[in-house]
Amino acid sequence: MDQEVLQQEFAQLQNIYNMVAEFLVQYSFQILGALIIFLLGLWLAGRVHRFIAALLARHNVDVTLAGFISNLARILVILMMAIIALGKLGISVAPFIAALGAMALGAGLALQGMLSNYAAGVTIILTRPFVVGNTVKMQGVCGVIKEINLSMTILTNEEGEEISIPNKHIVGEILHNSFEYMLAETRIGISYAADPQQAIDCLSAVLAQRPEVASEPAPQIGIDSFGDSAIEIGIRYWVPTRNYYGVKFAVNLELFSALKTAGISIPFPQREVRMLTD
């Protein structure tokens, strides 16, 4: 009895071996050819990716756009070579394409929010309202663009915090792009008894001594308005966004000290009260 069972199992193994051997004899060259084609496709995709990335870098194309184009080219090459490899095996790719289309439709309906982020990311990459390194203000936050992905944009603020904003909340919204510098504005009131030109020269000297203050565009200082008890001197200058508040606070202290040293007073609001008697 045991001998008969062993003979049956051996016969089954022999049949499986014969089937595998027949399959390899009949399709070995097709499998080997398909494998070679696919491996060649991976190698070619890598070469195409590096070539396009280097070409775009030589033409000073934005790093995000260059990465998107080179990665897209690599994926297209891999898909094309995979289709050729399947054809080498005699497998029709039409059912696969139909299945991929149905899966894409279902995924699109289930992931509308995520896909809207990707669509907005493509729009940002193609229209380039900002690039990596620009200083922007959007959605109530301000910072330097660190990275632009298809799904989100990452900013770094002055405190070193990373802020991630989904791209769908950026496209179509108001965007302030000051590139690498941000405008700082200050108003200082001086006494009507003081010489405005002396005050302007004094404040200009302070800004000229600060290396953080941009020389181009040049700082602007002048009489902004005439208040009830003071001449309002307006000051506008550009500072690096990464140190915006630190530079502005330090400059304000030096402006105050310079006016005090020059003997130019900063008046406080005054009101004259008259007592009328019979």
Residue 2 confidence (pLDDT): 60
Q: Tell me the pLDDT tens digit for each residue of 88-108.
A: 777 766 776 677 677 666 666
Q: Tell me the pLDDT tens digit for each residue of 172-206.
A: 777 877 767 888 889 998 888 888 899 899 999 99
CATH code of the domain covering residue 236: 3.30.70.100
Residue 266 lies in a domain: no
CATH code of the domain covering residue 27: 1.10.287.1260
- Answer yes or no: is pLDDT of 86 > 90: no
As a whole number, mean pLDDT of residues 247-273 equals 85
pLDDT band at 5 (very low <50, low <70, confident <90, very high): low
Strand spans (E) along the chain: 135-138, 141-148, 152-156, 162-166, 176-179, 181-190, 220-226, 231-240
End-to-end C-alpha distance for the chain, whole angstroms? 138
- Answer yes or no: is pLDDT of 8 > 60: yes
Which residues contact residue 161 at a Cβ distance below 8 angstroms, ignoring those fewer than 6 apart? none
Pair 37, 94 in one domain: yes
Partnered with residue 142 across adjacent β-strands are 137
Pair 146, 241 in one domain: no
Residue 138 lies in a domain: yes
Residue 57 lies in a domain: yes
CATH code of the domain covering residue 144: 2.30.30.60
User: What does the alpha-carbon distance between residue 189 and residue 150 come to, in Å, rounded to a whole number?
Assistant: 49
Q: Using CA atoms in the order 133, 204, 257, 191, what is the torsion angle rounded to 10 degrees? A: -130
Q: What is the mean pLDDT of the chain?
A: 80
Helix (H) or strand (E) holding 47: helix 2-58
**Structural domain count, the chain:** 3
Which residues contact residue 63 at a Cβ distance below 8 angstroms, ignoring those fewer than 6 apart? 131, 132
More confidently predicted of 178 and 38: 38
Pair 11, 96 in one domain: yes
Mapped onto helix, strand or coil, the DSSP state of residue 176 is strand
Pair 68, 155 in one domain: no
Which residues contact residue 115 at a Cβ distance below 8 angstroms, ignoring those fewer than 6 apart? 108
Residue with tokens 């502005």: 248
Is 41 within 8 Å of 77 (Cβ atoms)? yes
As a whole number, mean pLDDT of residues 228-238 equals 89
As a whole number, mean pLDDT of residues 1-29 equals 67
Pair 95, 189 in one domain: no
Residue 110 confidence (pLDDT): 52
Q: How far is CA 32 from CA 24, 38, 130, 134, in A?
A: 10, 10, 48, 51
Instruction: Single out the residue in 78, 110, 142 at which a domain terminates.
Output: 110
As a whole number, mean pLDDT of residues 126-149 equals 82
Residue 228 lies in a domain: yes
The HSE-up count of residue 140 (CA atoms within 13 Å, CB side) is 0
Residue 16 lies in a domain: yes
**Phi then psi dihedrals of residue 193, to 5 deg:** -80, -15
Pair 6, 95 in one domain: yes
More confidently predicted of 239 and 117: 239
Question: Which residue segment(s) compose the domain that 195 sits in?
Answer: 182-261
**Phi then psi dihedrals of residue 217, to 5 deg:** -70, 150
Residue 236 confidence (pLDDT): 93
pTM: 0.49
